[in-house]
Chains A and B, each alone.
Chain A
Amino acid sequence: MSAPSTTTIPSTLQQIKALVAACLCAVVLQSVLATPVQAADELRSVVVADPYLELRTGPGRGYPIFHVVDRGESVQIVMQRTSWYLVRSDRGKEGWVERAQMEKTLQPDGQQVSFAAASIEDFTNAKWETGVLAGDFGGANIVSLYGSYSLNPNIAVEFWGSQILGNFSNGWMASFNVVHEAFPEWRVSPFFTLGAGAIYTKPKSTIIQGADRTDQIGHVGAGFRVYATRRFLLRAEYKSYVVFTSRDENEEVEEWKVGFAFFF
């Protein structure tokens, strides 16, 4: 930005140039000044508040401590794996620190940092859940994968995909259901479920008779979700299916399944 001449009034073009230059300066200055502020916002850096922070060679309890960072020094958090944090010290040493020790660090401005682990409250309140169950479907083996979305702690909607592997026929099943939990805050939480879907059945290649078919299904069921640890839960359920066949009589199938899931 050159100083305007004392004899001539600056032209509009010069004014614009000055404006553009001022804007550029502002942008550059802001980006230079804003970077550390932004970094503090994202909290990639924490200050050791305990006498020392122990850095281990691997993300597990058995790995040896190879370096300690003293109180008052800061470390950068590189990443997290399960309940372990990879940190880099000011001297460039990288190592893994467990959550319990990270909890005792502070923000650069002296405030507390939260490294909250998933808990039973998340088990009750988490929105999304996915899991795998296996069991018995009317005498055949069944392997199922599901995804669930909670509308509130009591009601969730779920989508299931299953493969059925029997002695005489194989098949696929897709269904959509609503789950109601009366006591979602209990560690062992019972639920009721209702849903509908479709089943595709294909007789085995060694069976001569029978053709492929697709039928609608409806089901009602009940079961338990059991909080295990961290983001992990066990699930067991019973469902009674009605298969709306094109024949005169509908089929009824009972299903028992157990499996595990995690929420996020």
Chain B
Amino acid sequence: MESRFRVLFLIVAMISLSGCAATKNLFGFGNKEAPPPSAQAPGQVIDPEVDRREIKEPKIDREDFEVGAYAGIMSIEDFGSNVSYGLRIAYHITEGFFMEATVGQSDGGLTSFEVLSGGARLITDSERTLTYYNLNVGYNILPGEVFLGEGRAYNTNLYLIAGLGSTTFAGDDRFTVNFGAGYRFLLNDSVALHLDFRDHLFDIDLLGEEKTAHNLESHLGVTVFF
């Protein structure tokens, strides 16, 4: 209980001590007006009549976000390969770098132990569903163009991604590192097709000893820029 008061007092102390300079305009108080212009200097003969040019900033449709869905195959170590699907959103910071968030789902099959032993089950059916989210940084390493016939050209990008997240599988949330490469094929300036290969790494101790599992996923997707 004592610690709670300590934190409360700290918050009050910090806000009051955070500097009058910082807080004076917090609620619109304080002197915001510029000092009045001083009277014209007696020595000034020419009164400049140059209008200050107004520089306008155009309202342009910014399309830096990319959202989409994907489907593919995920191989869960010891649990076989199954269909996976997910959603992704990306924000393009520069022509090279982007941030990406993905959420996805797949299902684990039976381990060889479960198949050979007959009826024994290591985990329940609901625990076999694998869900993950990842927060990644991406880099467009090989931008380019492809040509279909003589009259058609499409922009493409080969990119690398790496990031962190969490995977829920076999009854626990598991800290996950994922990395991979992808190929973005732009059908026009706003719609793209993706082909991705990723490796999700997490620690699992279900089969006796703790080990780092590699879970490879490849998927095809569609995204739209907005």
Contact = CB atoms under 8 A, between A and B. Distances in A.
B205 A206 contact: yes
B38 interface: no
B19 A229 contact: no
A80 B205 contact: no
Contacts of B137: 260
Interface string A205-249: 110000000001010100000000111100000000010100000
Nearest to B155: A58
A84 B174 contact: no
Interface of B is mostly: mixed
Interface string B50-92: 0001111111111110000000000000000000000000011
A143 B63 contact: no
Contacts of B111: none
A61 B3 contact: no
Interface stretch (A1-9, A12-20, A22-30, A147-155): A147-155
B45 interface: no
Nearest to A154: B22
Interface in B201-215: 205
B24 to A, nearest CB: 9
Contacts of B205: 206
Contacts of B153: 57
A178 B172 contact: no
Contacts of B189: 78-79, 86, 94
Interface residues of B, number: 54
B138 interface: no
Interface stretch (B102-110, B113-121, B163-171, B216-224): B163-171
Given A113-B58, A155-B23, A178-B14, A232 B93 contact: yes
Given A111-B56, A154-B22, A82 B3 contact: no
Interface in A67-90: 77-86
Contacts of A113: 55-58
A165 B175 contact: yes
A262 B99 contact: yes
Nearest to B167: A165
Contact of B94 (A62, A204, A229): A229
Interface residues on A, range: 35 or more
A220 B155 CA distance: 48
B187 interface: no
Contacts of A62: 143-144
29 contacts: A42-B58, A43-B56, A44-B60, A46-B58, A57-B153, A59-B155, A60-B143, A61-B95, A62-B144, A77-B58, A78-B61, A81-B64, A82-B64, A83-B95, A84-B95, A113-B56, A114-B56, A143-B164, A154-B23, A163-B166, A165-B175, A180-B14, A194-B14, A204-B172, A218-B3, A218-B4, A230-B93, A242-B3, A260-B137
Interface of A: 42-44, 46, 57-63, 77-86, 94, 107, 111-116, 132, 134, 141, 143, 145, 151-155, 163, 165, 170, 178, 180, 182, 192, 194, 196, 204-206, 216, 218, 220, 229-232, 242, 244, 250, 260, 262
Given A58-B143, A194-B10, A244-B4, 17 more contacts: A43-B58, A44-B58, A58-B145, A59-B95, A63-B145, A79-B63, A107-B56, A115-B58, A132-B99, A143-B166, A145-B135, A170-B172, A180-B18, A180-B19, A216-B4, A262-B93, A262-B99
